[in-house]
A and B are shown apart, each in its own frame.
With several copies, the nearest count.
Chain A
Amino acid sequence: MVFTDVTPDPIDVVEVLKRVAAAEDGAVLLFLGVVRNHAEGRSVDGMRYDAYEAMAKGVLAEIAREASERHGTDRIAVVHRVGDLQLGDTSVAIAVSTPHRAAAYAANREIIEEIKKRLPVWKKEHYVDGASEWVEGAAPPVPHRAGGTA
């Protein structure tokens, strides 16, 4: 079953992996995004993740569902953390399990790329020198024509 969440709680990697275990699968791929100590040449000592949480939960579920349909597996778990993170903390975990490995790599990669493109989450880097800045992001794809009727 596809599982997704946006949460302030620390991510338990073992639990995420357990969610995708299935007897018919021979390949599991886990991606972890981790807060690192540098960004564009500056030393970082922490990161704040903000989200439009109600929307982010829906978008993350949609991203996982799309990958599920495209790659024929419902053994997908994606958890994105929000709030104040320390160096080394996991900000996102993506686990995909499939019978054969090619689909696991492809689906996993697509999910992180879609997250970067359209998940309404922002991060503020805290630098060792005391400054902090919103990380430059990507403009999400927006429909050109209105879908709704008045």
Chain B
Amino acid sequence: MAIAVRTLFFAAYRDLVGAAEIPVDLPEGSTVGDLVASLRERGHPFSSLPPAPAVAVNRTYAGPEERLAGGDEVAFIPPVAGG
């Protein structure tokens, strides 16, 4: 069984991957860390993403062990600079 998640990229990460949103299929039971690893394994340009970026799942910051579910919105959050 696979799950489909939406990955979102912002600011410098968006410039890097060249897209605002990418759909990704993952094996059931995958975590945030698994998603990051699987993207980076695709090679250029994804391999330039950091190995442990800040990530938000459904608009809440999530650690690498967080399990993903089908339909999750997973955002890659570059270092923030609001204010």
Contacts and interface: CB of A to CB of B under 8 A. Distances in A.
B83 A115 contact: yes
B67 A143 contact: no
B32 to A, nearest CB: 8
B39 to A, nearest CB: 17
Contacts of B66: 143, 146-148
Interface string B58-83: 01111101110100000101111111
B81 A121 contact: yes
Secondary structure of the A contact surface, majority rule: mixed
B11 interface: yes
Interface in A91-147: 91-92, 112, 115-124, 134-147
Please classify how large the interface on chain B is, using the bins under 10, 10 to 19, 20 to 34, 35 or more: 20 to 34
Given A52-B56, A122-B11, A150 B79 contact: no
Contacts of B54: 139-140, 142
Interface in A25-59: 33, 49-52, 54-56, 58
Contact of B80 (A54, A91, A116, A145): A116
A124 B81 CA distance: 9
| B12, B66, B81, B83: most-surrounded residue (chain A CB, <10 A) | B83
Contacts of A65: none
A80 B82 contact: yes
Contacts of B83: 33, 80, 91-92, 112, 115-116, 119, 121
Contacts of A149: 67
A137 B10 contact: no
B12 to A, nearest CB: 5
A49 B75 CA distance: 17
Interface of A: 33, 49-52, 54-56, 58, 80, 91-92, 112, 115-124, 134-150
| Chain A to chain B: the 5 pairs with minimum beta-carbon distance, closest first | A121-B82, A137-B79, A137-B81, A122-B11, A150-B67
